[in-house]
Structure 1
Amino acid sequence: MKRAILFFISLILCVLSYGQITNSIWSLKLGISNRQQVEYEIKRKGLNIGQQDQNVILCYNNIFSFGGYRWNFASFKFYKGVLARIIFSFSR
């Protein structure tokens, strides 16, 4: 019984330690990248910035691919000057 419990605990620890959690998209890191880095990556990908304000950059009417899907809208949201959220969507 002791071995089974030890095996189960070690299995859980292995799964947790090898988890592939990533916080980066297009070499942008959530919580780290600033607005200038995001604008540079958007332009480098050939996308146009459609609208922007202090906390949001919107790109639309561009067809681009990410994660195996094709999108035509991306929203980059900032909190305290760093990238906090990226939303991709497709509308017809």
Structure 2
Amino acid sequence: MNVPHPVRFALHKLIVAGEREGAFQSKYGKDLMQAGLLLSVLRDQRPREVKDAWADLIGRGQGWSSRALRGLCALEKRFSSAGIGDWLTVP
């Protein structure tokens, strides 16, 4: 069985949420919730891993960074109390 790394999975969920269209739009909220919950826990338990993975993601070019930032913006709108947007910034 292959299990994704929790940090990469959380960031993947941020990207996927913004990519949902049509019939898959109903999973948008679930993607954001999973990303928010994971990132909230990982902020306390593995902050350096998240920061490193986020910097790697943002550094992969405009396509990746724009999708990640779109997901982060959506996450902040839906779960602003988590403060993820204050923590993950563009380097």
| Alignment TM-score, normalising by the size of structure 2 | 0.26
More helix by share: 2
TM-score w.r.t. length of structure 1: 0.26
More RCO (CA 8 Å, sep 6+): 2
* More strand as a share of residues: 1
